[in-house]
Amino acid sequence: MDIDPTVFIVDDDQGVREAVSLLMESVGLATETYPSAQAYLDAFDAARPGCLVLDVRMRGMSGIELQQRLAAEPLHPPIIIVTGHGDVPMAVRAVQAGAVDFIEKPFHDQVLLDAVHRALQRDAEVRGQALRRADILDRLGRLTPREREILDLIVAGRRNKLIAADLGISQSTVEAHRAKVMEKLEARSLSDLMRMVLLAASGP
């Protein structure tokens, strides 16, 4: 069942948290607010889609430190850094480390809304690819050792006749295994098969 995305707002200024939350809710986006980086980290659930609107300077753990903690997770919401004028160099480093955007305080509502929509789109794309990769890995797990061996040779560019010679089996046997590989992976073409293998090899 699909879960609606949430805008997670982390700022130690209650007024900022409330203002950003109201802005997001005015366009129909669900929000959760946290007064500290640690509070968000304690509640963090990688399975929940959304994005993170994160202040740089906070008491206790900074926004940059939270970003570093989340970077160790296989999946986490895209981060939008909100910063004061004096924190711009720090915010630039945060973007270089993977944050999707940074916005200076005080900011225009539409600027933040646009950044949030971009971040939510990115999150949806990343999660979609992660689901697709998990599905492909599951299909790969259904292959027999011989089918996997033949798949590796197909991906390496070997033709059926050469695969047969390499493995000491008949060409018709190779063709039968190849057809089974295509069926199990639900690949419609060789290029489709190659894309699946490349996606399976990407990521953690």
In three-state form (DSSP H/G/I as H, E/B as E, the rest C), the secondary structure along the chain is CCCCCEEEEECCCHHHHHHHHHHHHHCCCEEEEECCHHHHHHHCCCCCCEEEEEECCCCCCCHHHHHHHHHCCCCCCCEEEEECHHHHHHHHHHHHCCCCEEEECCCCHHHHHHHHHHHHHHHHHHHHHHHHHHHHHHHHCCCCHHHHHHHHHHHCCCCHHHHHHHHCCCHHHHHHHHHHHHHHHCCCCHHHHHHHHHHHHCCC
Give the Cα separation of 188 and 182 in Å (integer). Answer: 7
Are 72 and 78 within 8 A, CB to CB? no
Residues 46 and 76 sit within 8 Å (Cβ to Cβ): yes
Q: d(Cα 114, Cα 149) in Å, to the nearest integer?
A: 48
pLDDT digits (tens, 9 = 90+) for 118-168: 999 999 999 998 889 989 999 999 999 999 999 999 998 899 999 999 899
Tell me how far apart the alpha carbons of residues 53 and 63 are, in angstroms, rounded to a whole number.
10
Query: Which is higher by pLDDT, 3 or 117?
Result: 117
Give the model's confidence band at 101: pLDDT under 50 very low, under 70 low, under 90 confident, else very high: confident
CA separation for the pair 121, 105 (Å, rounded): 23
Average pLDDT, integer, range 69-80: 90
* pLDDT-based confidence at residue 85 (cuts at 50, 70, 90): low
Digit-coded pLDDT (tens) for 155-197:
988 999 999 998 999 999 999 999 999 999 999 999 999 999 9
**Percentage above 70 pLDDT, the chain:** 97
Tokens of 10: 């982390």
Look at residue 203 in the predicted model and tell me its pLDDT: 65
Report, as an integer, the average pLDDT of 9-19.
93
Residue 1 has pLDDT above 50, yes or no: no
Confidence of residue 92 (pLDDT cuts 50, 70, 90): confident
* 171, amino acid identity: Q
Kindly report whether the global pTM for this prediction surpasses the value 0.85.
Answer: no
